Amino acid sequence: MQPHTVIDVKKTGRFEDEEALFSPFGSASREELAQQRLFVNADLEALEGLLHACPVRDVKSGEILLSPGQSNQNLYLLLSGCLRVHVDSVKNEPVCILDVGESVGELSAIDRKPAPAFVVADVDSRALVVDQDIFWALINASHAVACNMLQILSDRLRMSNAVISKNRRLQQLYRRHAVTDQLTGLHNRRWLENMLSRQLKRSSINNKALSLVMIDIDAFKQFNNRFGHLAGDYALHALAQTLRDSVRPTDMLARFGGGKFMVILPDTDIERAELVAERIRRNVAEATIMMSDESLLPPLTVSLGIAEMKSSDNYETLVSMTDAALCRAKEKGRNCVSV
């Protein structure tokens, strides 16, 4: 009979924790496993034969544990530390933070497909590596483990739905900002170009009239030089509100740029458009412009040019005709309407 070999742990230094050497659960202690959501209400002693074969992986701070497209068939149970989950890029804000007791890699362990996101160690961490065969053996061996995995997957699905909902709201916000002038709250030139082209096509097909009004603030540069650009911003905001109040719900209003604005008047011939333009001119001249400290600024005046669509007109030709009419209004002395 061969003599027993006695291992002096302190002398060899092969294990920092003497208890880990004799743990029936292998590299992880019973206390670490008991913290795992996967093992809530599970009989760990009945699973020790499976868990003993699972190694522990040390993940350094900033190290990527999983990345999109990476082949993975393991479930990772976080024993210590903290993991971040990023979508698309590790430079993006994390969509969630995983603490001790959480798991990652469930979907890959189930369907053998690549990981869908980046998983990065936020600090030095340790994770128990459960390969696919042991994962399914645990599911089959314990009803509690199977129920816990269903709960974990349910939480993952709810989190994914919340992320999708948030991204959808952000996309809607970005789209709105892409076609909105931030100072006045009106539509911007990008929106105007798209909408006017569509309205021209619609009016041409339906043989309907369409008129365009171009509005320019008189001597706006001098206004800014005299009262300051902050006062100019208040004036633009007040003008935008006056324009909204001066047109019909079916009319389409946008800031063209600087002190210029445009109004698309569907189903409106040149005579009716002139009435709308004159109403706008009058309302702007009578509008009150108030600063945040309730001090009043002098009223603005505007010059307006109008053009009606001809059957052959496109966006460029109609805008060019409207701009030419606006120039004539300025030549006549401003604060007037020109057709």
Q: Which fold has domain 189-338?
A: Alpha-Beta Plaits (3.30.70)
pLDDT at residue 25, rounded to an integer: 61
In this prediction the pTM is 0.53
pLDDT at residue 75, rounded to an integer: 92
The CATH number of the domain covering residues in 9-169? 2.60.120.10
Residue boundaries of the structural domains of the chain: 9-169, 189-338
β-bridge mates for residue 132, sequence order: none
Q: Supply 178's token pair.
A: 């892409």
Whole-angstrom distance, CA of residue 253 vs CA of residue 265? 9
How many helices (H) does the chain have, and how many strands (E)? 12, 15
Is residue 211 within 8 Å of residue 309, measured between CB atoms?
A: yes
Q: Please, what are the averages of pLDDT over each run of 10 residues along the chain (339 residues)?
A: 39 41 65 92 91 91 90 91 89 87 88 86 94 92 92 78 62 67 90 91 91 96 93 94 94 94 96 96 94 91 95 89 96 95
Q: Supply 326's token pair.
A: 């606006």
* Among the listed residues 124, 129, 266, the one whose alpha carbon sits nearest the alpha carbon of residue 201: 266
Tokens 């030139």 found at: 189
CA distance from start to end of the chain: 115
pLDDT at residue 177, rounded to an integer: 60
pLDDT at residue 96, rounded to an integer: 84
User: In Å, how far are 107, 110, 262 from 257, measured between CA atoms?
Assistant: 51, 56, 9
Helices 229-246 + 270-286 axis angle, to 10: 140
